[in-house]
Amino acid sequence: MANGFIVTKEDWESMTPAQQSWMTFNAVQAMNERVEALEKRPFFDKCFSFMGGLIGGVLATMGIKWGG
């Protein structure tokens, strides 16, 4: 996450189950905030994102077909 911190495998294994549950809860809450921020975007932003994905997909398909 851009604003968070990284928990290594060693850190995770040394945590108590309560701490692990709290970290999982915090991660889910952070994802929820990000999804809410995306959902609040204007409709035309979503349309531009969709069109960009569509154009990129078509170009990738053409590149695979003709590029070998």
Whether 4 maps to a domain, the answer reads no
Mean pLDDT score across all residues of the chain: 87
Within a domain: residue 2?
A: no
**Is the Cβ–Cβ distance between 20 and 12 less than 8 Å?**
yes
**Res. 54 pLDDT band, cuts 50 70 90:** very high
What angle is formed at CA 21 by the lines to CA 17 and CA 27, rounded to 5 degrees?
145
The answer as to whether 1 is a domain residue is no
User: Domain range for residue 34?
Assistant: 9-67
Residue 3 within any structural domain of the chain? no
Count of domains forming the chain? 1
Tell me if 63 is assigned to some domain: yes
H-helix segments, 5-42: 9-14, 17-39
Q: Is the pTM of this model over 0.85?
A: no
Residue 31 lies in a domain: yes
Flag whether 44 is in a domain: yes
Res. 62: pLDDT tops 70: yes
